[in-house]
Amino acid sequence: MKPNDLPQFDTAALRAKDAAHHLHPFTDTKSLNAAGSRVIVRGEGVRIWDSEGNEIIDGMSGLWCVNLGYGRQDLVDAATHQMQTLPFYNAFFKTTTAPATELAALLPQVAPPGFNHVFFTNSGSEGNDTIIRLVRRYWDLMGQPQRKTIISRHNAYHGSTLGGASLGGMSGMHEQGDLPLPGITHIDQPYQLQHGKPGESAHDFGLRAASWLEAKILEVGADKVAAFIGEPVQGAGGVIIPPASYWPEIQRICDKYGLLLISDEVICGFGRLGHWFGCQHPHINSKPDLITFAKGVTSGYLPLGGVLVGDRVAKVLIEQGGDFNHGFTYSGHPTCCAVAIANVSALRNEGVVERVATDTAPYLKAQFATLADHPLVGDVDSLGMVAGLVLYKDNASRTLFDADLGVGYLCRDHCFKNGVVMRAVEERMIIAPPLVMTHAEIDEMIRRIRRSLDDTLAGLR
């Protein structure tokens, strides 16, 4: 697309209004206002354009969500049709809408076996808040009300509501607002760079990292622990891919103590890892009782999230539970559900998830791995359509840059300048591109990333 085909915006005026009025999420407003926001005005396929006409490959799928890419007319049509027919009605008080019911029936067709019920929310954060309510309700109904503690991991991300931020293990979030809430506790993440021992194999590290769950269960008291929650691959924490030995051992420990296992699939769901849900990837291979989803369910075109409730919990909740006193005005919003149906149908009918597993993700892995020869780069890794690398000051001795330098943010800015969105998480640079990326687009993205690494290195000299 040529810049003059773009919608025209007055960038300076928008920046001024933004600085005057807009409090951005996870942003230092004062420093943002000094620089001015980048205004994104259009998207098509795997590319976005800013208001100054710059074309950028979106290596982060918006915010891990635009799985089908931008500009899908089928999703637009689904929303338009539903808005013209019935833009909104609720699912409280014994009513439903066709899209909410059809989506509730469609999701079990793509979910792992044993998931036949869904509770809709607007977001992943609300999904995880719903999980806390469901877990507590389940154990109350099971006659074990003392089972209230949920164990999560440091540096996990489970959302921004009080519950989501408490389940998450982000210290920067816990410091603001006296979190976590009582009844939520954390173990270390399976990140070998941070917690590995010299000479330890990835396999042994994975088993040792999982053993921290058992130690925590025994510390809290096995009869008091309700559940363990984890992302199959930690996304916002920096694409932390655990060793293959980790999740099976977590599963064994959950089974041994009867814990509910919760897979937060807000990022990993809907094909991101080349399977409908991340827990189905052979590298993960867990059997959760509850699954949180959001983002990729609509490819981000409209907000929708929810919880897939496995039979173990659903049976108790439905047969013994009576009213579940929980819900949002927009639980099962028909327009969002209509878009989700179109999105899931497209992922299915176009074979996107299978293509990720057999073609796109292996190609991304191979091309991303070529960055390993760059002097700044180490620990290149990917699983499905998420990938990450570490920026090292000295690769041979695995010496990291001084954190105050913010080398990741320098690199991220070079990426933007060179036309690719990459995210920085401390020493890690990560991507999660749209699932529909072609080989040629992957090649172009990798070239732009390499150029940005070169520019970062040149700037450090």
Beta carbon of residue 340, minimum distance to ligand PLP (angstroms, whole number)? 14
**Which one of 66-74, 75-83, 153-161, 170-178 is the stretch in contact with ligand PLP (CB under 6 A)?**
153-161
Q: Please list every residue from 256 through 285 that binds ligand PLP, using CB under 6 A.
A: 264, 266-267
Q: Does 115 bind ligand PLP (CB under 6 A)?
A: no
125, 280, 418, 456: residue in contact with ligand PLP (rule CB under 6 A): 125
59, 159, 310, 388: residue in contact with ligand PLP (rule CB under 6 A): 159
Beta carbon of residue 436, minimum distance to ligand PLP (angstroms, whole number)? 20
**Which one of 121-129, 202-210, 220-228, 281-289 is the stretch in contact with ligand PLP (CB under 6 A)?**
121-129
Beta carbon of residue 184, minimum distance to ligand PLP (angstroms, whole number)? 14
CA gap 158, 326 in Å, rounded:
19
**Which one of 76-84, 154-162, 345-353, 398-406 is the stretch in contact with ligand PLP (CB under 6 A)?**
154-162
Q: Does 288 bind ligand PLP (CB under 6 A)?
A: no
Q: Does 163 bind ligand PLP (CB under 6 A)?
A: no
62, 69, 99, 124: residue in contact with ligand PLP (rule CB under 6 A): 124
Beta bridge partners of 153: 187
Contacts of 156 (CB under 8 A, 6+ apart): 167, 168, 169, 170, 186, 189, 229, 230, 231, 234, 237, 264
Beta carbon of residue 335, minimum distance to ligand PLP (angstroms, whole number)? 17
Q: Does 180 bind ligand PLP (CB under 6 A)?
A: no
On whether the CB atoms of residues 157 and 170 are closer than 8 A, the answer is yes
Beta carbon of residue 241, minimum distance to ligand PLP (angstroms, whole number)? 14
**Of 274 and 419, which has the nearer Cβ to ligand PLP?**
274
Q: Does 129 bind ligand PLP (CB under 6 A)?
A: no
Q: Does 60 bind ligand PLP (CB under 6 A)?
A: no
Query: For the stretch 191-224, what's the b/e string if a residue is b when 16 or more beta carbons lie within 10 angstroms of its beta carbon?
Result: bbeeebeeeeebeebbbbbbebbbebbeebeeee
On whether the CB atoms of residues 186 and 168 are closer than 8 A, the answer is no
Among 265, 267, 343, 271, smallest CA distance to 301 is for 343
**Of 125 and 360, which has the nearer Cβ to ligand PLP?**
125
Q: Does 157 bind ligand PLP (CB under 6 A)?
A: yes
Count CB neighbours of 21 within 10 A: 7
**Of 50 and 231, which has the nearer Cβ to ligand PLP?**
231
- Amino acid code (one letter) for 423: R
Site string for ligand PLP, 212-251 (x = CB under 6 A): -------------------x---xx---------------
**Of 65 and 110, which has the nearer Cβ to ligand PLP?**
65
Beta carbon of residue 160, minimum distance to ligand PLP (angstroms, whole number)? 6
Q: Does 296 bind ligand PLP (CB under 6 A)?
A: no
- Amino acid code (one letter) for 348: R
Beta carbon of residue 237, minimum distance to ligand PLP (angstroms, whole number)? 9
CA gap 80, 87 in Å, rounded:
9
Transcribe 7-53 into DSSP letters. PP--HHHHHHHHHHH---TT--HHHHHHH----EEEEEBTEEEETT-
Continuous segment of H or E residues that includes residue 116: strand 115-121
Q: Does 184 bind ligand PLP (CB under 6 A)?
A: no
66, 78, 103, 294: residue in contact with ligand PLP (rule CB under 6 A): 294
Beta strand spans in 330-385 (E): 377-383
Q: Does 433 bind ligand PLP (CB under 6 A)?
A: no
Q: What residue has token string 């105050």?
A: 404
37, 61, 67, 123: residue in contact with ligand PLP (rule CB under 6 A): 123
- Using the Cα atoms of residue 32, residue 35, residue 36 and residue 40 in order, give the sign of their dihedral: negative
Q: Does 158 bind ligand PLP (CB under 6 A)?
A: yes
On whether the CB atoms of residues 265 and 112 are closer than 8 A, the answer is no
**Which one of 72-80, 156-164, 244-252, 314-322 is the stretch in contact with ligand PLP (CB under 6 A)?**
156-164
Contacts of 266 (CB under 8 A, 6+ apart): 64, 124, 127, 159, 231, 235, 292, 293, 294, 295, 305
Beta bridge partners of 432: none
Query: For the stretch 60-97, what's the b/e string if a residue is b when 16 or more beta carbons lie within 10 angstroms of its beta carbon?
Result: bbbebbbbbbbebeebeebbeebeeeeeeebbeeeeeb
**Of 216 and 423, which has the nearer Cβ to ligand PLP?**
423
Q: Encoding tokens for residue 99?
A: 């899209």
**Of 59 and 235, which has the nearer Cβ to ligand PLP?**
235
| Upper half-sphere CA count for residue 163 (Cβ side, 13 Å) | 17
Chain residue at closest Cβ approach to ligand PLP: 124
Q: Does 189 bind ligand PLP (CB under 6 A)?
A: no
CA gap 167, 180 in Å, rounded:
7
Applying CB under 6 A, which residues contact ligand PLP?
123-125, 128, 157-159, 164, 231, 235-236, 264, 266-267, 294, 305
